[in-house]
Amino acid sequence: MTNTSFETLLYRHHGDYVEIRFNRPQRLNAVIEQLYEETIVALQRAQADSKVRAIMITGEGRAFCVGADLKEHGAGERSQYQRRLYLQLGNDVCETIARLSKPVVAAVNGYALGAGAEMACACDFVIMAESAQMGFPEVSIGTCIGGGVSQVLPRLVGLAKARELLFLGERINGAEAERIGLISKSVADEELDHYAVAFMHKLASKAPISMAVVKKLLLTASHTDLDSQLQHELDGVFMCSTTADWQEGIDAFADKRLPEFKGV
């Protein structure tokens, strides 16, 4: 079912997962304030819906998102204050994606550049069409990266490769992105939709409370010392053991069947 309450997005509920589709194909899904604002609302809506186990972000038409709408920037109609608010929105979207308790998957069709690449990197998984292109052109056009990329990218590909991607701004295709560890999976263009849907259902079948705990552990691990992280993991195991899903997992294993998790 498609929700039409957004102007720059399509919000589609597919049972156990939600699809958030950037919908400015005439501008290759270039970012304006409204797209950022509506993306945050859509993410929060999916987070609040107990029936939703996972979230997919993708783009309508020939691109995932080509970054900032330079035509709007070039119009020069923003005050300095408005420009700061716009930039903050970009960070807010990426932070919202990272901090959601539910897994977020980027299905990258076509171009993911600048802010588009930043939003993709904020997701828990990135699935990319082989011919799609991802790149960080900020330095090449005299601006700067955002959305936490300076932290996330080196963790994904290593510092040397992160420097190369950010300083040179060269685009890479899906196969190369998978080779260097930037994304989870590269698939043939014609298989992207099918693979992404199958992946979403597989993800949605896992224990949601356990997934939320593990997602938070992974988010904080890079700046937590080992003793603290071990304690956080212990707390996570104990919390999961208090849920009905824990018992369902044990029972399903004993019965040699697939578990049916309820998120309680």
Each residue's pLDDT tens digit, 70-121? 776 655 677 888 888 889 999 999 999 999 999 999 999 999 999 999 999 9
33 pLDDT tier (thresholds 50, 70, 90): very high
Residue 261 lies in a domain: no
Residues 119 and 246 in one domain: no
Domain assignment present for 212: yes
15-41 average pLDDT score: 96
Domain co-membership, 192 together with 212: no
- On whether both 138 and 222 belong to a single domain, the answer is no
- Does residue 30 fall inside a structural domain? yes
The pLDDT value given to residue 75? 57
Q: What is the DSSP string of 216-240?
A: HHHHHGGGS-HHHHHHHHHHHHHHH
Determine the 3-state secondary structure of 22 from DSSP. strand
Q: Which value, to the nearest 10 degrees, does the dihedral of the CA atoms of residues 118, 122, 123, 128 take?
A: 30
Domain end, chosen from 189, 204, 219, is at: 204
- Which residue numbers are catalytic? 118, 138
Query: Would you say residue 76 lies in a domain?
Result: yes
What does 149-179 look like in DSSP terms, one character per residue? HHHHHHHHH-HHHHHHHHHH---EEHHHHHH
- Paired tokens of 45: 């809506």
- The pLDDT tens digits of the residues spanning 12-24 come to 999 999 999 999 9
262 in any annotated domain: no
Do residues 106 and 57 lie in contact, with contact meaning Cβ atoms separated by under 8 Å?
yes
Q: Is 24 exposed, middle or buried (0-12, 13-18, 19+ CB in 10 A)?
A: buried
Domain tally, the chain: 2
130 shares a domain with 24: yes
Q: Which residues, in sequence order, are CB contacts of 244 under 8 Å at separation 6+?
A: 262, 264
Q: Do 194 and 82 sit in the same domain of this protein?
A: yes
| 155 and 72 assigned to the same domain | yes
- Which domain covers residue 133, as residue numbers? 2-204
The answer on 34 and 143 residing in a single domain is: yes
Give me the pLDDT at residue 2, please: 59
Q: Is 248 within the bounds of a domain?
A: yes
**Euclidean distance between CA atoms 135 and 60, whole angstroms:** 19
Question: For the chain, what is the total number of helices (H) and then of strands (E)?
Answer: 11, 11
Q: Per residue in 222-249, pLDDT tens?
A: 889 999 999 999 999 999 999 999 999 9
Domain check: are 125 and 228 in the same one? no
Gap between the Cα atoms of 171 and 164, Å rounded: 11
Query: In angstroms, rounded to a whole number, what is the distance separating the alpha carbons of residues 232 and 146?
Result: 29
Query: What CATH number does the domain containing 150 carry?
Result: 3.90.226.10
Q: Domain check: are 21 and 112 in the same one?
A: yes
Which of the four pLDDT bands, split at 50, 70 and 90, describes residue 201?
very high
Please check whether residue 264 lies inside any domain of the structure: no
102 and 30 fall within a common domain = yes
Q: Do 121 and 200 belong to one domain?
A: yes
Residue 260 covered by a domain: no
Q: What does residue 68 show for φ and ψ, rounded to 5 degrees?
A: -65, 145
Q: What is the mean pLDDT of the chain?
A: 94
Same domain, 141 and 194: yes
